[in-house]
Structure 1
């Protein structure tokens, strides 16, 4: 079972510290690691850990920094489709600082703000070879042309589309009618009409350790989040989205309703925050994946 994930890939430089430094302060880090990051990328790593085939459509290019992310994704079992493999500019880089005692973090990133035009890369995306295996799609909207192309293809094939809606982006006006599940952060706000009124069948809102809320035209509810001691919150929301996409593709709407999918994603994300470091959680999440195969 494959999940196609389309969106941002960054190179994350992650340092753990005893305390987050204030303005003008310097501090000695306890450790430093590099890993691939970004919403769709972290979700793809989660899908692969759970036992799915994770196919990541993104932009990395030919800059030497891109090799760091490419090697990490290969080690995690993620298959990558680079839309602009010859692009010479460096990929987006995120500077991440994680506080050791509670996993709280700060992130500074350029994201995809300077990404090149993707029209040729999107046209080259080989949907034909993906068609028989993909059971769910996740888009994060960071590369608008890519998000629209993938969502339109999935809609034409009857494949459910999950949107990672961290913040409002202009592309969402066109993208939302193609989305089956919009999974939003608590900070997400849509201008004008709400997401249900814009045609999204199911809207989910996450809020850290607080219960996850869901709404459809037929009803609403909330699902509690497991109480855990947090060691590292970096990418936890992205891992949650990856688990939701995996569950959507694995179980389908005939076998599992929305609260059950949310409960599964909550449990996977809880495993992520229990472990310090960008990849230390993979074995624990893989164990959860073995429990549902």
Structure 2
């Protein structure tokens, strides 16, 4: 049965180039491949959740600029419903320019993210969460995320936090979360090491916490249990969006599995995606036999 997921946060237009190596100053290079797609943590997670057989809704900012229509079209192609918090915005959305190094799959990203597109809580459209099974918040629209999180918490809807990096305002939302999955770059105030991050989050009485480390094992804490989940070894072609895909897969699997099994299965999906250039090709039918 398809579940309903709400994904709150950032949407960008990603311009992605596959290159032998990033250019030096004043150098022009020719890419061997390219793709244009909607990007952003909540966006890619929602598309992944939809691909795995669920119904996803993206809540964020698009507007009416022609570039926003490209983002809108990609979301619609992948079955994601859109709730635009600023539907008459005429300024362009954020654009990310990304270079992926062909030999390693490493990526270099230039983006303006959502710093100039913040929506006030009173601009949040009326939403009915009664049929929502899970909510992911990436922290890029903190004011509306707080309102959504408070209502979800009151209705016992599980909240997943994508902690890519620390953002002001997280301290008010984190205590409401059921699951916090951080990258190694997530550093709350006065926290530098993973054990300090775990201690900070445990102090907020968050029941399930994980820290990802790229291709290395995922560290986790779950109701007094501490351990690691291995990440499948692959030969990466492109690591762009792997964390977003992991979070989208997690939202799918956690509605069916326990915490550690959901982490394991999500890592498998994310690792699989790294074997293909861009954030969409891994979804093609002929590529997904192993997930």
TM-score, normalised on structure 1?
A: 0.91
Pick aligned residue for 1:85 from 87, 90, 97 = 87
| Kept after mapping to 1: 8 A contact 2:8/2:145 | yes
My pick for the range that moved more, 64-73 or 184-193, is 184-193
Give 1:162's aligned residue.
160
Give 1:11's aligned residue.
13
| Kept after mapping to 2: 8 A contact 1:202/1:215 | yes
TM-superposed CA distance for 1:41, in Å, is 0.4
Q: Does 1:191 align with 2:189?
A: yes
Give 1:54's aligned residue.
56
Give 2:260's aligned residue.
259
| Kept after mapping to 1: 8 A contact 2:119/2:144 | no
Higher RCO (C-alpha 8 Å, min separation 6): 1
1:124-181 residue CA offsets vs partner (Å, 9 max, x unmatched) = 2322xx422x211100010011211221121111111000001111111101111111
| Kept after mapping to 2: 8 A contact 1:176/1:199 | no
| Kept after mapping to 2: 8 A contact 1:271/1:284 | no
The secondary structure found in structure 2 opposite 1:281 is helix
Pick aligned residue for 2:107 from 105, 108, 126 = 105
CA distance, structure 2, for counterparts of residue 32 and residue 286 of structure 1? 19
CA distance, structure 2, for counterparts of residue 53 and residue 83 of structure 1? 19
CA distance, structure 2, for counterparts of residue 86 and residue 285 of structure 1? 40
CA distance, structure 1, for counterparts of residue 22 and residue 206 of structure 2? 39
TM-score, normalised on structure 2?
A: 0.92
The secondary structure found in structure 1 opposite 2:5 is strand
TM-superposed CA distance for 1:221, in Å, is 0.4
| Kept after mapping to 1: 8 A contact 2:118/2:141 | no
TM-superposed CA distance for 1:115, in Å, is 1.0
Alignment of 1:1-293 (within 5 A): 1-122=3-124, 124-127=125-128, 130-132=129-131, 134-192=132-190, 194-248=200-254, 250-251=255-256, 256-283=257-284, 287=288
Unaligned 5+ segments in structure 1 are none
| Kept after mapping to 1: 8 A contact 2:239/2:274 | yes
CA distance, structure 2, for counterparts of residue 257 and residue 285 of structure 1? 29
How many pairs were matched up?
A: 281
The secondary structure found in structure 1 opposite 2:205 is coil
1:16-74 residue CA offsets vs partner (Å, 9 max, x unmatched) = 11112233322111122211000000101110111111111110111111011111111
TM-superposed CA distance for 1:101, in Å, is 2.3
TM-superposed CA distance for 1:109, in Å, is 0.6
1:240-271 residue CA offsets vs partner (Å, 9 max, x unmatched) = 011111112x31xxxx3211010011111011
Unaligned 5+ segments in structure 2 are 191-198
TM-superposed CA distance for 1:116, in Å, is 4.1
CA distance, structure 2, for counterparts of residue 149 and residue 284 of structure 1? 38
TM-superposed CA distance for 1:103, in Å, is 1.4
CA distance, structure 2, for counterparts of residue 33 and residue 138 of structure 1? 26
CA distance, structure 2, for counterparts of residue 200 and residue 286 of structure 1? 36
Moved segments of 4+, more than 4 Å: 284-289
Gap change, CA 1:16 and 1:275, over 3 Å in 2? same
